[in-house]
Amino acid sequence: MGGEGKLHVVMFPWLAFGHMIPYLELSKFIAQNGHKVSFISTPRNIDRLPKLPPNLAPLINLVKIPLPRVDGLPENAEATMDVRSDFILKKAFDGLESALTLFLETTLPDWIIYDFCPHWLPPIAARLSISSAMFIIINAWFLGFLGPSSVLIDGADPRTEPEHFAGPPPWVQFPTKVAYRPHEIKWLVGASKQNVSGISDLYRVGSVIVGSDVIMIRHCEECEPEWLDLLRELHRKPVIPVGLMPPTVQDSGRGDDKNAISEWLDGQQNKGSVVYIALGSEVTLSQEDITELALGLELSQLPFFWVLRKPPGSTESDSIDLPDGFVERTKGRGVVWTSWAPQLRILAHDSVGGFLTHCGWSSLIEGLMLGRPLIMLPFLVDQGLNARVFEGKKVGIEIPRDERDGSFTRNSVAESLRLVMVDDQGKTYRDNAKEIKAVFGDKDRQDRYIDSFIEYLENHTRPKKD
């Protein structure tokens, strides 16, 4: 114990800010209950994290472990946003094993909570009698769709052809539309193959699950609970939902940028008229994607705020090419924002009425906790499955795409936007999004999951060896 019955919990997320931020938020919840947290990452990543609240900073120790240099990893690259492909980053990440082991041997924490990546870590925790948990920052249907550990580790997957992933796997015995489209399957095939790190991503996931005492997941029983039950059946160990962890809308921002964004949103005359577009920090849009999305926004005639960032691994000299004349033609009713933007604060603004999203789990939570209907354009990992779930709940629609290559047209973008935002036929999506806010935006309900999670940590520590 960390002293006087308080725990010492180590947090060790994967090197992506979409993972580190939820781990940091969970760290704050742990610290709010008086427990000590050691949050471990690399120096540059620690320096790029949001500042800790002053009341919690004494309980959260930000521990910097230098990332080993490996051939092919760009200088100063320590997160997925710094590289075009994360396979070489995983190889460097595995090099953290010895330094992390020394830290654990020295501090002997009560718990270590880690991500999908460190396949080598569960045996170390077991040897040191440290309770261990895999914390999944995405939802239960994604992990359930991947399958049991035998599929992940041994490659014993009965799905041998791409079309097998276009429907529910054989271990899913309840009705569901959760499945991949043909153009989305490529990443899953790649995840099952050995990469330059020496092993496959699915092997990492399976090994971490098998070696952990418990699976903790950013999910709640009010949203597709059958997937939580499936995970318990597949993996034969506790699966603890920590809730959706909806963030708090704060007056955050960066000086003049914050003021410029607020002034533009304040200047929109009609409540709920603006569509907010953000496709995450990990998605790389092709030039064709950018062109069709831009021209679709123009055709829609809707006010828009588009956060368009350079793809991961870009240099300062890399540029974003919008269609000729697009900025001039949409000036006054649209903004293309190419730097960091306070997404939650924008979504919370009264002028925003819809969210065109890549369907990352954190972004979906932020949009739905505020009752914003969705226009969905998924690209990676769990995003396609997420889109199937929430289209089924009629809180938004997917932009129609070519089933084979995933391409979409400006007309499909414009029609989807107008349907969800203004057309009479889209009222169902707008109404349902407001209704689902009762689950996604209910802080008291979600806080109860955190309370149960903390109680589990307190009551399930391994006895230390003499």
Is 107 exposed, middle or buried, given 0-12, 13-18 or 19+ CB atoms closer than 10 A? middle
Amino acid identity, position 371? G
- Compute the distance between CA of residue 81 and CA of residue 1 in angstroms, rounded to an integer: 36
Cα(296)–Cα(416) distance, rounded to whole angstroms? Answer: 9
Among 440, 352, 432, which residue's Cα sits nearest to residue 391?
432
What value, to the nearest 5°, has the Cα angle with vertex 20 and ends 353 and 28?
85
Q: Which residues are catalytic?
A: 19, 115
Half-sphere exposure of 334 (CA within 13 A, CB side): 22
